[in-house]
Structure 1
Amino acid sequence: MKLVCYCFGYSEADLKQNVIKNNGCSTILEKIKASKGEGTCRCHETNPSGK
């Protein structure tokens, strides 16, 4: 399982399923974007690659 977001633990499979479930839109991606915009995203600290 490849994680896309280390803050929330979302994988590529989670994103794909979310897009299918929401008729082509990703609520997960919106949540991640909102977190980044609010400055609460910590992926740069929790992601082993530092991204």
Structure 2
Amino acid sequence: MKLICYCFAHSEDEIRRAVLEDSGRSRIMEQILAAKKAGACRCVETHPQGR
């Protein structure tokens, strides 16, 4: 499993599946951006490259 978002554990497969199920669009990015805006991002702690 290849993680795309380490903060919220979204995988590449999950995003692809969401795109297929939602007419070519994934709402995962919207969820990630909203969570980041709310201060829930932990990239520095969870991403192997600290980003």
Give the alignment's TM-score, normalised by structure 1: 0.83
Residue by residue over 1:1-50, the C-alpha shift from the partner in whole angstroms, topping out at 9 and shown as x without a partner, is: 21011122111111111111111121111111111111211122111110
Which residue of 2 is the match for residue 26 of structure 1?
A: 26
4+ aligned runs moved over 3 Å, structure 1: none
Counting aligned pairs with the same residue, the percent is: 49
Q: Tell me how far apart the structure 1 counterparts of residues 4 and 13 of structure 2 sit (CA, whole Å).
A: 9
Give the alignment's TM-score, normalised by structure 2: 0.83
Runs of 5+ consecutive residues of structure 2 not aligned to the other structure: none
Which residue of 2 is the match for residue 13 of structure 1?
A: 13
Which residue of 2 is the match for residue 3 of structure 1?
A: 3
Runs of 5+ consecutive residues of structure 1 not aligned to the other structure: none
Q: Tell me how far apart the structure 1 counterparts of residues 27 and 16 of structure 2 sit (CA, whole Å).
A: 11
Aligned CA RMSD, in angstroms, stands at 1.1
